[in-house]
Amino acid sequence: MREVASLAGVSLKTVSRVVNDEAPVTPAVRERVQRAIEQLDYRHNLAASNLRRRTGRARVLGVLLQDVGNSFSSGVLRALEDACRPHQIALLAASLDEEPDRERVLVNDLVSRRVDGLVIMPATERQDYLAADLRAGLPAVFVDRHPHGIDVDSVTVDNSQGGYDAARHVLAAGHRRIAVLSDLVTIETARLRIEGVKSAVGEFGPDAEVSFHEDLRESDAAERVVGQLMSGDQPPTAVITLRNILSAGALRALREAGAVDSVALVGYDDFPLADLVGLTVIRQNVATIGAEVARLMLSRLEGATDAPRHVVVQHELVERGSGEIRPAD
């Protein structure tokens, strides 16, 4: 910065004001400083600046999601990024892959790097291991899942109601042989969606034959299960997939069996191109979820000390044709 100041013929404080976008600096002086910065290839050291100011703020959030390659997680991440960018806050993101040990290691790594806050879609059953960091002032916002063992801000949808709505939809169309495909039942969202399905069956189809196929992690696993079901004597007339990656596998199996136009399919979570294949889904408003997470986190970073807030974002049933197929028998 001293070299920039010397080349531009200004004070060190003026250079500091330019790189930190502070006033007052005239346009002519600001342009002169910017030319010197470019000529010298100067890069502002934000960490050093924060230490000098004694703010302790790195302007970095740690974001731990289930799988940043999944359209739901990546959508949340993008919405969060868009909301944080105007505040000059960067994100460090990683995937947890539903591995509790991985979660603890990554949290420790991010906290040791002094991130300003933590956004987490937890893989652990309880998160009281974060208690010491929370007492030390680390803001945390949970997304998609509720905190357990601690009480911090969270943004979720009503997963039980979503599962209920999916099942009610196919039951109302007259289906009584229904297959339900689910992720790991150790995951809170999976359990709640299954509970919702069971509630709807008990209310609208107590005579229905519903088979539950749980702990399916990949698209290929869903494809195998649906393929086996379709080759049986009494194949389902409707399939409900409680995670978007399972929807893709189920759709491939139905297409292979020549049943894509005769077996109803309702998926939980939208994904790219789902509209092109006419897939009916329970859609979570990913953009709103990410924006709400950012709103809560920014509020905490600005000093809010009120009680933890738990925001529930409304989902919607999007009818595209696959879930509206009626049973032939």
Q: What is the pLDDT of residues 232-263, one digit of tens each?
A: 999 999 999 999 999 999 999 999 999 999 99
Q: CATH no. for residue 30?
A: 1.10.260.40
Lowest mean pLDDT among 38-47, 69-78, 249-258: 38-47
In what helix (H) or strand (E) does residue 216 lie, and over which residues does it extend?
A: none
**In terms of domains, do 144 and 236 share one?**
no
**In terms of domains, do 252 and 294 share one?**
no
Strand partners, 155: 143, 311
7 within domain boundaries? yes
**In terms of domains, do 301 and 224 share one?**
no
49 within domain boundaries? no
**In terms of domains, do 177 and 265 share one?**
yes
Show the domain range for 14.
Answer: 2-44
**In terms of domains, do 261 and 166 share one?**
yes
**In terms of domains, do 276 and 290 share one?**
no
176 within domain boundaries? yes
pLDDT at 24: 85
Whether residue 11 is predicted with pLDDT greater than 70 in this model: the reply is yes
Q: Give pLDDT tens digits for 184-226.
A: 999 999 999 999 999 999 999 999 999 999 999 999 999 999 9
**In terms of domains, do 66 and 206 share one?**
no
318 within domain boundaries? no
178 within domain boundaries? yes
pLDDT at 1: 84
**In terms of domains, do 172 and 108 share one?**
no
216 is written with which tokens? Answer: 């399916």
- With left for phi above 0 and alpha for psi between -120 and 50, is residue 114 left, alpha or beta? left
323 within domain boundaries? no
In what helix (H) or strand (E) does residue 154 lie, and over which residues does it extend?
A: strand 153-156
**In terms of domains, do 163 and 266 share one?**
yes
d(CA 214, CA 220): 14
319 within domain boundaries? no
What share of the chain in percent tops pLDDT 70? 95
28 within domain boundaries? yes
End-to-end CA distance of the chain: 78
**In terms of domains, do 275 and 293 share one?**
no
Whether residue 54 is predicted with pLDDT greater than 60 in this model: the reply is no
How many distinct structural domains can be found in the chain?
3
**In terms of domains, do 259 and 298 share one?**
no
d(CA 48, CA 279): 51
Q: CATH no. for residue 255?
A: 3.40.50.2300
326 is written with which tokens? Answer: 């009626």
**In terms of domains, do 278 and 293 share one?**
no
